[in-house]
Amino acid sequence: MRALIEPATPVVSLLRQATTSRNDIPEPSPYLWQHSRRRRQRWAVEAMDSQKAAVTITSSVVPAGGKSLSKENKLWGGRFEESVTDAVERFSESISFDKALYKQDIRGSRAHATMLAAQGLITTSDRDSILNGLDVIERTIEAGDFVWRTDREDVHMNIEAALTDMIGEPAKKLHTARSRNDQVVTDLRLWCRDAIDSILFHIKKLQVVLVYLAMRNEGLIVPGYTHLQRAQPVLLQHLLLSYVEQLERDAGRFIDCKNRLNFCPLGACALAGTGLPIDRFMTSDALGFTAPLRNSIDAVSDRDFVLEFLSASSIAAIHLSRLGEEWVLWASEEFGFLVPSDSVSTGSSIMPQKKNPDPMELVRGKSARVVGDLITVLVLCKGLPQAYNRDLQEDKEPLFDSVKTIMGMLEVTAEFAQNITFNHERIQRALPAGHLDATTLADYLVKKGVPFRTSHDIVGRCVAFCLSKDCQLSDLSLDELTAIDPVFEKDVYEFVGVNNSVSKFCSYGSTGSACVSEQLSYWVSKLGISTDASE
Amino acid sequence: MLAAQNEAIEAGDFVWRTDREDVHMNIEAALTDMIGEPAKKLHTARSRNDQVVTDLRLWCRDAIDSILFHIKKLQVVLVYLAMRNEGLIVPGYTHLQRAQPVLLQHLLLSYVEQLERDAGRFIDCENRLNFCPLGACALAGTGLPIDRFMTSDALGFTAPLRNSIDAVSDRDFVLEFLSASSIAAIHLSRLGEEWVLWASEEFGFLVPSDSVSTGSSIMPQKKNPDPMELVRGKSARVVGDLITVLVLCKGLPQAYNRDLQEDKEPLFDSVKTIMGMLEVTAEFAQNITFNHERIQRALPLGIWMQQPSPITLLRRTSHDIVGRCVAFCLSKDCQLSDLSLDELMAIDPVFEKDVYEFVGVNNSVSKFCSYGSTGSACVSEQLSYWVSKLGISTDASE
């Protein structure tokens, strides 16, 4: 900051030299700050014109790119002798993305102005002017007519300057006992709160869609996989409900995040609070926060709520990527278990036969950008000293991107799920392959008193025998079975075959029909689903 | 017999065999070697799929308890440090530029707040993971008449998991644990950065004792705050561990896939690292002194900005007026408090002689009074809150 003073010396000498050739320019006073910045700039440029050959101008006085003299003074520019260069302004601006916070910024300003008036720090008429002005600005923004200016840097300065243009002096009182440090993080917390509510709504919607899908495919048995090898037969309903469980925990993480972030930073000002008699509890209540944050330095410097939000989004995104993978596999010719309708498929520009489940591929793929957004902010925050640092403005774009992405993923997955049919016939035909009933057969032997390890071994030998004969376990005769181990009896046939297999499951949370029925009832009730509406 | 095995492992006498693949098979095979037939019944109505994820949840639960203990310990240490440095004013920074004077206590308590939220995240994670997978078997449950509620209770879980496929395939509790650890690690990296800066010659605000410093093999004068540099640096591996498991899980179909065994090493590494970071930070904090004299001497530099109190002044105009005062000070190379009343009134006639109550660092700090501010009374209140919450005995403060 001190360096800004030094260029004054070349300017002074410039001006002094200039006066020898242009006597109508007054000798600048020793106190440069007494003159407006615009006048000094004009002198500098005029002097430069007349002294171009003789004087070396440092770029800090007149930047190489040139300066527009029409730039207004920055609202923070009191001690500054010159404005920032264009390149710096472009690099530093955040208005291109933080205007997304306009609603929250205006809401925060309304609450702040109301509190200032209640505390006697501004008059009620000033407050009213401010509130009316903010209403007009909000309507203008929503109509798409507001002109966002890069030289006004960010959403806060844009709105405040616009308010000043509109109502004059009262607007200059709005920022009393406030800094952009506490203002921006208040806006961000409000934005996150609203975003989480939207995400929770979409999570619930997807859960409902999956439950409906389950209800419409009652009794359908599909292969359950481990290592992508056919493992055991499961009810499709049971598989779909496993995703509903995961989404429930995702919702829980978002709710915990929302509760933890719901504390108000306003009144922390730059980092230390203020000596003015503000009422932080009033503003906090007005904005729907649980309470004001207890420590002003913490209030302005921490972005852990952003990290937590992004973490929750990343985990949810990973869950959806796994569902995406599964449905892309199931839509393939080799699996052929599900058929997306045309409304959720795309073709190929070259291969006429193609019908691709692109939406779910994109759900799978977009999980990467959510993870990337999380990493961005983790790396951003690492090693940043207290309290506020400009780096932190970089928290918004990844956050906004992650929310847009996760909402898209949730919406599209729900839409896809409402536009697929399961290929019952193809699945039935495929089911016998893979000896999915093997474990159930092992359980049969356990019930006969054979230690599990031994029964695992016996059934393994039965499967090997089937492979050599290219048949199913249910095709083996009782003699063939007893030749492998004498413990088999004729009731064994109640335990082989896929349908029998599924019906034997009975442990809590298993794929047995009764258990799955119970799970479904739990979710129908929890999600408030009307069972008459099921198609 | 399992108890005997436990003892053997803890004594370091157990022979782990690679050909037995994993901990589950090793222990079961050793048991079979020891007791024969009965051991072969242990795996009835169980798969390694539900077994491993049950083990992992139990491990995570214990790990979280340890981490919570260390977080609390660090909070206590920071509160003691605050209590031992009452009244010390330090520069508060934004953009690493001197912003406003703050009580050191206030700054230390901001870290205590962050640690409290970290603890909250670990607690939420622990509550969410505390459901029992046992009985899900491979993925579908079993036909044998097991009692999942009994095992769940015996292992201290809240209840058995409701869906067997979910139970064996999901590792979101690992991701959540790693996320909480990453956020805590980032917090500690920020404290590391601050104390490394403060220990530098240029800042000179804190002096670590020899017991938490290291030297240079070549430069005899060196005294480096390595522990905090490592706290800052090790945050990277915790973040890396989180990314590992995120990438691991991405796009994995149901239910169990062998990829998932790769979840453990990053998880174990992250826990070891975060615990080390917490412990060492606490140790460092107990072995530093703040250089009161150096800080006092340095404080006047930086032209402290405090809002002029006359509330009749328009905020924006007052910002501008004070900005011009600052520029004037810079040209004279003096402090705001050195300006005469005439000089101030030449800038703006609104100044009166009570302005001197508002300039100067000590005056500046004493004027803060908003809830949560750095004003002495407010900080006193914060301290009392933490002393009470953390159960700190004030007689024991050094």
What is the longest distance spanned by two Cα atoms in chain A? 122
Q: Is residue A50 part of a domain?
A: no
Give the separation between CA A130 and CA A128, rounded to whole angstroms: 5
Name the pLDDT band for A71 (thresholds 50, 70, 90). low
Q: In which element (H, E) is residue B207 found?
A: strand B206-208
Residues A304 and A394 in one domain: yes
The mean per-residue pLDDT over the stretch B196-209 comes to 95
Residue tagged 């004013």 (tokens): B89
Phi, psi of A62 (to 5 degrees): -130, 100
First to last CA, chain B: 50
Q: pLDDT tens digits for B279-333?
A: 999 999 999 999 999 998 888 765 554 544 443 445 557 777 888 888 888 888 8
Q: What is the structure's pLDDT at B316?
A: 56
Same domain, A457 and A436: yes
At residue A221, the 3 state secondary structure works out as strand
**More confident call, B14 vs A36:** B14
Of A261, A260, A265, A264, whose CA–CA distance to A388 is shortest?
A265
**Does one domain contain both A292 and A318?**
yes
Q: Which two tokens stand for residue A515?
A: 């258990």
Residue A265 lies in a domain: yes
- Partner-chain residue, chosen from B141, B163, B372, that has the shortest CB–CB distance to A292: B372
The shortest CB-CB distance from A298 to any of B39, B110, B182 is to B110
Residue-level pLDDT at A475: 93
What is the average pLDDT across B220-235?
Answer: 92
Q: Which two structure tokens, joined as six digits, stand for A335?
A: 């699996």
A242 and A382 part of one domain: yes
A372: number of Cβ within 10 Å? 16
- Per-residue model confidence (pLDDT) at position A444: 93
Residues A410 and A467 in one domain: no
The answer to whether B110 and A297 have CB atoms below 8 angstroms apart is yes
* Residue matched to tokens 């859960």: A207
Range of the domain at A384: 181-428
Q: In the predicted model, what is the mean pLDDT of residues B92-99?
A: 90
The confidence score (pLDDT) of residue A55 equals 36
Domain boundary among A130, A151, A176: A176
B165 contact residues in A (CB cutoff 8 A): 224, 234, 238-239, 242, 511
Q: What is the pLDDT of residue B136?
A: 96
CA distance B303 to B85: 24
Output the domain CATH number for residue A490: 1.10.40.30
Decide which of B171 and B364 is more confident. Answer: B171
Residues A412 and A449 in one domain: no
B284 in Cβ contact with B212 (< 8 Å): yes
Q: Residue B398: its pLDDT value, please?
A: 45
Sign of CA dihedral A26, A27, A30, A32: positive
pLDDT number for residue B321: 82
Q: Is residue A140 a part of any domain in this protein?
A: yes
Is the pLDDT at A282 greater than 90? The verdict is yes
Q: Are A267 and A292 in contact (CB under 8 A)?
A: yes
Chain A residues whose CB is inside 8 A of the B102 CB are 271-272, 297
The residue ranking higher by pLDDT, A66 or B26, is B26
Residue type, B392: I
Rg (CA), chain B: 29
> Which pLDDT score, from 0 to 100, does residue B155 have?
98
Full 3-state SS string of A272-330: CCCCCCCCHHHHHHHCCCCEECCCHHHHHHCCHHHHHHHHHHHHHHHHHHHHHHHHHHH
Domain check: are A365 and A230 in the same one? yes
Single out the residue in A428, A463, A483 at which a domain terminates. Answer: A428
pLDDT, residue A157, reads 93
Does the annotation count A319 as an active-site position? Answer: no
| Domains in chain B with CATH codes | 2-43 (no CATH), 48-292 (1.20.200.10), 298-390 (1.10.40.30)
Chain A residues whose CB is inside 8 A of the B319 CB are: 75-76, 78, 175
Task: State the average pLDDT over residues B22-36.
Answer: 90
- DSSP, residue by residue, A87-147: HHHHHH--HHHHGGGHHHHHHHHHHHHHHHHHTTSS-HHHHHHHHHHHHHHHHHHHTT---
Q: Which is catalytic among the residues A348, A517, A521, A534?
A: A348
Q: What is the pLDDT of residues A73-127, one digit of tens each?
A: 676 766 777 888 888 888 888 888 999 999 999 999 999 999 999 999 999 999 9
Which member of A33, A270, A375 has the closest CB to residue B327? A33
Do A146 and A207 sit in the same domain of this protein? Answer: no
Which residues does chain A have within 8 Å of residue B141's beta carbon, measured at their own beta carbons? 505-512, 515
pLDDT of residue A169: 92
Q: Does A238 fall in a domain?
A: yes
Residue A337, domain member (yes or no): yes
Residue A134 sits in a domain of what CATH number?
1.10.275.10
Same domain, residue pair A151 and A249:
no
A404-451: per-residue pLDDT in tens?
Answer: 999 999 999 999 999 999 999 999 888 888 899 999 999 999 999 999
Domain identity same for A406 and A450: no
Among the residue ranges A47-56, B246-255, B292-301, the one predicted with the least confidence is A47-56
Does the beta-carbon distance from B45 to A443 stay under 8 Å? yes
- Computed on alpha carbons and rounded to an integer, the radius of gyration of chain A in Å comes to 34
Q: How many domains does chain A contain in total? A: 3
Where is the domain boundary, A428, A452, A476? A428
Question: Cα distance from B396 to chain A (closest Cα, Å)?
Answer: 25
